[in-house]
Chains A and B, each alone.
Chain A
Amino acid sequence: MTNVDIKKIEEISHAMRRKIIDVSFSCGASAHIGGGLSMVDLLATLYGSILNFKVTDPRWVKRDRFILSKGHGILGLISALRVTGVISEEVFNTFQSNESHLIAHPIMNLDLGIESSNGSLGHGLSLGIGLAIAAKKLSKSHHIFVLLGDGECNEGSIWESVMAASQFKLDNLTVIIDKNGYQNEAKKSKNIISRGSNKSNWESFGWETYNIDGHDIKEIYDAYTIKRFDFKPKAIIAKTVKGKGISFMENNNDWHHNRLTQVKYDLAIKELNCKDS
C-alpha cells in the first residue's frame, strides 16, 4: 500500500467523520456517535480498498458481503456507504427521521447496501457463517466480512459461531472486532467483561488472528490482505478509540448514545476543519 493509497483512505475516513457529525446533529436526536466513530478507519479501508462492490448495482451477486453485527455502529456503515456513493445525500439525510430506512440500527436493504437487519447483538456472525457456507456450496469466490463490537463478544451466541466457523474451515470469512474498550454502561473500560476480544481466545478456537491498531490504515490494510493459513477463518482484533477524531468524545462514554447541541456540533466541526487545513 503506497502513501498515496493511504492518503486516499484517510480522506475517506475524514469525510465519513464529517458525515457522522453532520447527520448526528441534523437528526436532532441522540445517536450512537462514539461507537460509530471508533470503526470509521476500519470501514474506510474496507470500503475504500478491499470490498468488491458496485456503487451502481448494490445487489450485484458477486459483491463481497459486509454484515454489521454491532448494529448500533450504523453511523459508521452509512457514512461509508454515503462517501463511496452507494447511498445518496438525500437518503442519507433521512437518518432517524420518521419512517426512514436509516435508523439507529441496520434494516436489511440491498439497494442501500445494507446486507442484514441487526441491532440485537450476537446475531451477525451466525448469519455470516451461513453466507460463507452458501458461497462455498455455490462455488462463489466472494468474501464475507462481519464487524463485531468487543462488548458484543459478551453474547454467548458469538461463541457458538466462533466454534462453528473454524470447524467448517470457513476461510472466506473475516471477522473484525472494533475493540474500543467500552459498552453501554461502562464508564471506564476496565469495567467491561473483556476476555471475548483477547487474541489468544480466538486463536484457541482455531482462528487466524491478528491484533492491530484500528486507526492505522496500513496495519488495517495489511490485516485484511494477509492470509497465512488455508481453511481458517480470520479474526482481526482492532484496538480503537471510542469517539475517535473528536477530542471531547474520545474515550468519553457519554458519547455512546448522545445528542449533539449546537455548541458541541460547532466544536466538533471546528476540530474537523482544522484537520482539513
Chain B
Amino acid sequence: MLEINKVNAKTWSRMGSRATYGQAILALAEVDKEFLVLSADLGSSSGLSRFETAFPERFLNVGIAEQNMIGIASGLAKEGFTVFASSFAPFISMRASEQIRMNLGYMDLNVKAVAIGSGVSMAFLGNSHYGIEDASIMRSIPNLTVVSPADCAEIIKVIHAAAKFDGPMYIRLTGAVNNPPVYFEDYEFEIGKAIKLKQGSDVSIIACGTMVYESLEASKILELNGISTSVINMHTLKPLDTKTIDECLDSTKLIVTVEEQTIIGGLGSAVAEYKSAFKNVPPQYIIGLPDIFGVTAEYRFLLEKYRLVGDKIAIDIQKFLQKKSK
C-alpha cells in the first residue's frame, strides 16, 4: 500500500480527493489482480487516466449512462468480480439511485459506488453537480455500507479496505484540490469503526469527510476558550459505530455532528436516530449544509458562508452552549 507519511500526505492533499482516488486504484491494482473499474465518461475526472493506460482490460467506460454503469457493474459483480464504479455524487447516487437500490441493495451485489466531488466541492459547476443529499439517500438503502473518508490518506485506506470488503458500498469523496490532511502517518482503519482523534470532557464533535479536519481546527479554538473537546472521525455513516457514540454520551455534555451534507438525513440524523432512544443523554447540535439550493461560488467561500470552517464551527458551538445554559 502507498505509505502514509508527511511527504505523501502533502502531495495527495495538493492533488485532491479525486486524483487520490485514481492513485489509490492504480496502486491497489498492482497487488490486487481481481477488481474492475467502471466510469461513465468521467475517467480522467476520477483520476483514472493512468489506471486506464496501465490496465486497459480492467477499465470500462460505459459512456454518459450512470444507470447502465451500475447495472453493468452489478452483472460483473454477480459473476464474482469486485467492481469500483465512479461518477459525480448526484449522478451516481440520484440518477442511478434505483439501480443502486435494486442491484447493490436488494441483490446485495459487491459493487463499490464511488461518488467523486461530493459536498459543495464542485464550486462553480453549481448545484447540479453538488452532493448535498447523497449520503441521506444512500444511507436509507438496506445492505449498503456508506463511508466518507476524512482526507486523502483515508481515501487510500478506504479503497484498500473496500477491495477486501465483501458487500456493496457507497464511498463519498468530499474535498477538492488542497484537501487539508488529517493523517500524516499510518494508522488502523476498519470499516464501521470510528476513530477517536482527541479525548475531551465537555463537547464531543462527531464528523465525517472534510469536516473532520475542520472539527479538529474548531476543537483547538474551543480548548483555548476552556472547552474540552473530543473529536471523532465517523468515517462510516452506516453501519454506525454506536459503541463510540456511547462513549461520547458518557464522557461529554454536548454532542455536535458536523458534515458537508444537508442536515437532513446524514451523519447528524444517524447519530440522532441512535441517541433518541435514551433518556438523560446530552443534547445534540447538528451542523451541516442548510436545506436549500444555495449560491454558487468558490469551494472555500461556500464552506465559509455555510459556517463549515473551524473557527465558525467553534463560534457556533460556543453560542449553542451559551443558549443551552440560559
Contact = CB atoms under 8 A, between A and B. Distances in A.
Interface of A: 108, 116-118, 120, 122-123, 125-135, 137-138, 156-157, 160-161, 163-164, 167
A122 B102 CA distance: 11
B68 A129 contact: yes
B80 interface: yes
Instruction: Sort A-B residue pairs by CB-CB distance and give the 9 closest, nearest first.
Output: A130-B75, A126-B71, A134-B79, A160-B68, A160-B65, A130-B72, A131-B75, A157-B67, A127-B75
Contacts of B62: 160, 164
22 contacts: A108-B106, A108-B107, A117-B107, A120-B102, A123-B98, A126-B70, A126-B71, A126-B99, A130-B73, A131-B78, A133-B60, A134-B75, A134-B78, A134-B81, A137-B57, A156-B67, A157-B99, A160-B62, A160-B67, A161-B65, A161-B71, A164-B72
B79 A164 contact: no
Contact of A125 (B71, B102, B106): B71
Most chain B beta-carbon neighbours within 10 Å: one of A116, A126, A137: A126
Interface in B228-273: none
A134 to B, nearest CB: 3
Contacts of B60: 133
B79 A127 contact: no
A126 B80 contact: no
A86 B63 CA distance: 38
A66 to B, nearest CB: 13
A160 B77 CA distance: 19
Interface of B: 57, 60, 62-63, 65, 67-68, 70-81, 98-99, 102-103, 106-107
Contact of B79 (A118, A122, A135, A160): A135
Contacts of A138: 79
A127 B67 contact: no
A25 to B, nearest CB: 29
Contact of A129 (B57, B63, B72, B103): B72
B50 to A, nearest CB: 21
B107 A133 contact: no
B65 A127 contact: no
A271 to B, nearest CB: 37
Contacts of A133: 60, 72, 75-76
Contacts of A131: 75-76, 78-79
Binding site secondary structure of chain A = helix
Given A120-B102, A126-B99, A127-B103, A134 B68 contact: no
A157 B80 contact: no
Most chain B beta-carbon neighbours within 10 Å: one of A118, A157, A167: A157
A134 B102 contact: no
Nearest to B106: A117
A156 B68 CA distance: 10
A133 B71 CA distance: 12
A163 B65 CA distance: 10
A116 B98 CA distance: 15
Contact of A132 (B74, B75, B103, B106): B75
Most chain B beta-carbon neighbours within 10 Å: one of A127, A156, A157: A127
Contacts of A132: 75
A130 B102 contact: no
Nearest to A71: B102
Contacts of B80: 134
Most chain B beta-carbon neighbours within 10 Å: one of A137, A138, A163: A137
A217 B299 CA distance: 63
A134 B73 CA distance: 10
B65 A164 contact: yes
A123 B99 contact: yes
B65 A130 contact: no
A10 to B, nearest CB: 33
Given A117-B106, A137-B81, 18 more contacts: A108-B107, A123-B99, A126-B67, A126-B71, A126-B72, A126-B99, A127-B78, A129-B68, A129-B72, A130-B72, A130-B79, A131-B75, A131-B79, A133-B75, A138-B79, A156-B67, A157-B68, A163-B65
Most chain A beta-carbon neighbours within 10 Å: one of B63, B65, B70, B71: B71
